[in-house]
């Protein structure tokens, strides 16, 4: 059952107090704190969140919020960029202390778009493409994955998506392909079609290459994104699931609300998730 925001914030408060006192109580102990076995999640950013900001502003915000892994949408690094530009931007990201792990969502409707997407990612030193390839192109995608060792995480888009609406629909098309072809579970879109993101993460753990983290206010096409923790999704349960399956990819915040002023909502969302993780650690 989803906790109320009041109950959860109370739990976080207890967690913060406990974690603050822990060094004093256990600092001299040689015994391993059971909290240390908790699987650590890597929080990152899908740059579409900051689509109204420049590249430099986006890097500053990611750095400020300690979202050290980033996947670029094309407004921050156009797909048509020259090899020189791709390498220059990749170096700028590295110099900012961030990891340019991927790009997306990239749509692939032709062979040329598949080839360009993989060349783009390879030149920029990315490890993952979050993409939506047409079914008939999956054999070519598999070939490119084997050539480049770049993973493809197919993104599901929920209600109204006739290609990949759910994680299940992705798996049905890729189950016999190279395991580096997997999925980016968008938990908001998954929830809006009436499916449990936690159950899908467990079911497809071996093909889970990326996550788009968000919250929504309702089911179906009318469900809208909003700040994480203000919606109707059980975010703490999903985070526990990721720890249980030892998910080692990026948990990328994709905050789609407030496109012209995304920073406050993104910061609130990041704070909520960090609070949730802190509370779990001290339980």
Any domain includes 264: yes
**Along the 283 residues of the chain, how does pLDDT read in single tens digits?**
444 444 444 444 433 333 333 332 223 333 344 444 578 999 999 999 999 999 999 999 999 999 999 999 999 999 999 999 999 999 999 999 999 999 999 999 999 999 999 999 999 999 999 999 999 999 999 999 999 999 999 999 999 899 999 999 999 999 999 999 999 999 999 999 999 999 999 999 999 999 999 999 999 999 999 999 999 999 999 999 999 999 999 999 999 999 999 999 999 999 999 999 999 876 5
DSSP bridge pairs for 42? 250
d(CA 12, CA 275): 6
24 found inside a domain: no
CA–CA dist 141, 155 (Å, integer): 14
Tell me, yes or no, whether 84 lies in a domain: yes
Does residue 23 form part of some domain? no
The verdict on residue 16 lying in a domain is no
Own/partner contacts of 146-150, CB < 8 Å, gap of 24 or more, are 146/178, 146/180, 147/118, 148/118, 148/121, 148/122, 149/180, 150/118, 150/121, 150/122, 150/126, 150/180
Residue 79 structural domain: 39-281
Q: Is 3 inside any structural domain?
A: no
CATH number, domain of 150, equals: 3.20.20.150
Count of domains observed in the chain = 1
Question: How many other CB atoms are there within 10 angstroms of residue 13's CB atom?
Answer: 12
In a domain, 216, yes or no: yes
Q: Is residue 22 part of a domain?
A: no
């Amino acid at each position: 059952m989803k906790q109320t925001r009041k109950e959860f914030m109370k739990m976080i408060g207890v967690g913060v107090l406990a974690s603050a006192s822990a060094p004093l109580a256990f600092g001299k102990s040689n015994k391993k704190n059971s909290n240390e076995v908790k699987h650590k999640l890597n929080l990152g950013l899908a740059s579409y969140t900051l689509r109204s900001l420049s590249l430099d502003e986006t890097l500053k915000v990611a750095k400020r919020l300690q979202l050290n892994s980033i996947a670029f949408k094309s407004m921050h690094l156009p797909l048509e960029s020259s090899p020189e530009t791709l390498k220059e931007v990749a170096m700028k990201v590295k110099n900012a202390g961030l990891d340019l792990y991927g790009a997306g969502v990239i749509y692939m409707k032709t062979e040329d778009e598949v080839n360009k997407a993989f060349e783009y990612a390879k030149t920029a030193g990315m490890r993952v493409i979050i993409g939506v390839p047409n079914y008939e192109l999956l054999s070519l995608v598999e070939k490119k994955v084997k050539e480049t060792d770049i993973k493809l995480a197919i993104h599901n888009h929920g209600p109204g998506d006739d290609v990949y609406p759910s994680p299940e629909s992705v798996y049905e098309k890729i189950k016999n392909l190279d395991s580096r072809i997997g999925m980016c579970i968008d938990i908001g879109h998954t929830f809006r079609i009436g499916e449990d993101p936690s159950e899908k993460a467990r079911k497809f753990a071996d093909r889970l290459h990326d996550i788009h983290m968000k919250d929504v206010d309702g089911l179906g096409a009318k469900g809208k994104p909003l700040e994480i923790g203000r919606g109707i999704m059980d975010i703490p349960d999903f985070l526990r699931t990721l720890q249980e399956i030892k998910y080692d990819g990026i948990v990328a915040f994709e905050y789609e609300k407030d496109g012209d002023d995304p920073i406050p909502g993104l910061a609130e969302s990041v704070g909520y998730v960090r609070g949730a993780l802190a509370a779990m650690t001290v339980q």
